[in-house]
Amino acid sequence: MPISDYQLIQAWKEVLTLSRLEAGQTVTILTGAATHPQTLACALIATQSMGAIVNRLDLPPVNGEKALSRDALAYLGETPLTGNRAAIAALKASDLVLDLMTLLFSPEQHEILASGTKILLAVEPPEVLVRMTPTLDDRKRVLAATKRIGRAREMRVTSKAGTDLRCPLGEFPAIAEYGFVDEPGRWDHWPSGFALTFPNEGGANGRIVIDRGDILLPQKSYCAEPVVLTVEGGYARKIEGGVDADLLREYMLSFDDPEAFAISHIGWGLQKRAHWSTLGLYDREATLGMDARAFDGNFLFSLGPNNEGGGKRTTACHIDIPLRRCTVSLDGVDVVREGKTIEETP
């Protein structure tokens, strides 16, 4: 159902307050051809009402002729900031960037963050933003999970469907996504709510079974039949199954890049207000699919780049796959058991 401007403005104010926006700070709102007009209008009102100096930077779309989908994450090649030094300078001069365009997986974003600028991505429909407005409790749960990842040296994932994946850890940092940016140089995504890391380069081995009802993104589809990935030396060497496997394999092959098949980030969802079923209620072009990525107790893994975690692997192909009913363990201790999160006891 639609959300009133009042509700969305209040949600923006909550997120901006959690992000420690202060009067007199500079906010640049980054927009593009697909920016939601209500999200933009309410962001402008919220930031100005809090005393910020507000700019809007609108950039033209790129990669449309290369991508096989209109989804913003369907092709991670050049961004509107590539070679655009004037735009980069404006963003680096800002205290906070509200990304209503979707700027991801780019050296330009890393350069902006390194300057101390905070970046908050917010591109889901307004009603999703309001339903999953982040809280301090979200931050507490995600940071606790992130600390557990940071201490671990192996993540193992199993399921009754047949998944048995082992990922050595320690080469890359643990990353927390809780929906707001409360530290200089921080990036986050509203809405979110999950903890993740990347397996040691080339270290992931085993078998992943994408079962019926598990989700493929950016395809934004529920699998109708199992898809089996054989993981060796950090790469999905085989993708087997029926039509769903064929569709996934052919899509990935279209990038003509073997790095597309590498295991990327791994972790689990912690957002109790996100729902596995929500994707089936939306048109594919209406949402980025953050409910699917963040719902509590999922095992979320991806295929493709690891440069967001500090690695050197880049590729235009990025696949996110949240699985249900998995058991995730860190150094032999379960943190998710058959799709249910297990909180750490003091």
User: From CA 77, how far away is CA 262, in angstroms rounded?
Assistant: 17
The pLDDT of residue 324 = 98
Tell which of 100, 131, 162 closes a domain: 131
User: In what order do the strands lie in the sheet containing 96-99?
Assistant: 53-58, 26-31, 96-99, 118-121, 187-189
Give me the amino acid identity at 51: G
Q: pTM here? A: 0.96
What is the chain's mean pLDDT, rounded?
Answer: 95
Q: What is the pLDDT of residues 202-248, one digit of tens each?
A: 999 999 999 999 999 999 999 999 999 999 999 999 999 999 999 99
Bond prior to 191 in cis (omega within 30° of 0): yes
User: Is there a single domain that holds both residue 144 and residue 159?
Assistant: yes
Axis-axis angle for helices 107-114, 85-92 (nearest 10): 30
pLDDT over 90 percentage in the chain: 87
User: Is there a single domain that holds both residue 115 and residue 206?
Assistant: no
Axis-axis angle for helices 5-18, 37-49 (nearest 10): 60
Domain of residue 112: give its range. 5-131
User: From CA 269, how far away is CA 16, in angstroms rounded?
Assistant: 23
User: Is there a single domain that holds both residue 161 and residue 292?
Assistant: yes
Residue 39 has pLDDT above 90, yes or no: yes
The answer to the question of residue 83 being in a domain is yes
The answer to the question of residue 244 being in a domain is yes
Asked whether 147 and 158 are in contact (CB, 8 A), the reply is no
Residue 110 has pLDDT above 80, yes or no: yes
Residue 19 has pLDDT above 70, yes or no: yes
User: From CA 298, how far away is CA 276, in angstroms rounded?
Assistant: 9
User: From CA 293, how far away is CA 216, in angstroms rounded?
Assistant: 10
Tell which of 113, 131, 149 closes a domain: 131
> If you search the block for the tokens 């500090």, which residue do you land on?
310
Q: In terms of DSSP H, where are the helices of the chain?
A: 5-18, 37-49, 85-92, 107-114, 126-131, 136-151, 243-253, 290-294
In this prediction, residue 346 has a pLDDT band, given cuts at 50, 70 and 90, of low
Number of helices (H), then strands (E), in the chain: 8, 20
The pLDDT of residue 287 = 94
> Could you tell me how many residues make up the chain?
346
The pLDDT of residue 205 = 98
Tell which of 131, 152, 169 closes a domain: 131
Strand 164-168 and strand 118-121: pairing?
unpaired
**CB within 8 Å of 258: residues ≥ 6 apart:** 235
Torsion of CA 295, 300, 306, 307, to 10 degrees: 0
User: From CA 61, how far away is CA 301, in angstroms rounded?
Assistant: 28
Count: domains in the chain: 2
The pLDDT of residue 321 = 98
Q: What is the pLDDT of residues 113-168, one digit of tens each?
A: 999 999 999 999 999 999 999 999 999 999 999 999 999 999 999 999 999 999 99
User: Is there a single domain that holds both residue 92 and residue 163?
Assistant: no
